[in-house]
Amino acid sequence: MNKNIQDIINSKIVSLEQALALRREWKAQQRKVVFTNGVFDILHAGHVQSLSNARTEGECLIVGLNSDASVKRLKGEQRPIISQQDRATLLAALFFVDAVVLFEEDTPIKLITTLQPDVLVKSADYQIENIVGAKEVIANGGEVKIMPFVEGLSTTTIIDKIIKSTSSQQ
């Protein structure tokens, strides 16, 4: 019996323990596992491009997703705009994302050290020495990749545009 699409999407939103089980399974199958993380508030084309680029670095993509509490600490009380469950669902709906793991901490270091991905990917607005988990991934024999930053596409830019549009209509 085939799962319906919503069941498939929901099955990709996993706990750290479930992600670790998947990681072990993929490692046994000699599949290259890629990890990236972020807030992904107001999912946009820049997110899709950076995530799809990350996926090209391996056969499986795990996305670490900041929880709502983590986002509030990092971005301020007005964020996130979209709840963690809805953000996780949007990410899991992308066909090239294999698993989404929420994390409560301000950084994904616990996810990275637990999952030990083969490749850690961040966008070009980071430098390797400033990427959380980079030295741990490299020490474990993995690699860190910097992906091109999509200029002009950011959640903050979109929010600012909405605010400007709304205030000019008043």
Please report the pLDDT score of residue 2 as a whole number.
Answer: 58
Answer for the pair 90, 40: CB distance below 8 angstroms, yes or no.
yes
Cα–Cα distances in angstroms (integers) from residue 30 to residues 42, 56, 58, 66, in the given order: 34, 16, 11, 28
* pLDDT per position as a tens digit, 87-96: 999 999 999 9
Left (φ > 0), alpha (ψ -120 to 50) or beta: where does 72 sit? alpha
Tokens of 29: 């199958």
Q: What's the predicted TM-score (pTM) here?
A: 0.91
Query: Are 70 and 103 in contact, with CB atoms under 8 Å apart?
Result: yes
pLDDT of residue 157: 77
Tokens coding 108: 């994904």
| CATH superfamily of the 5-168 domain | HUPs (3.40.50.620)
Where do the domains of the chain lie? 5-168
CA distance 56 to 74: 29
pLDDT value of residue 166: 77
Predicted confidence pLDDT, tens digits, the chain (170 residues): 457 999 999 999 999 999 999 999 999 999 999 999 999 998 988 899 999 999 999 999 999 999 999 999 999 998 999 999 999 999 999 999 999 999 999 999 999 999 999 999 998 777 788 899 999 999 999 999 998 877 767 777 777 788 787 777 76
Confidence at residue 62, expressed as pLDDT on a 0 to 100 scale: 98
Q: Are 122 and 131 in contact (CB under 8 A)?
A: yes
Query: What's the pLDDT at 104?
Result: 97
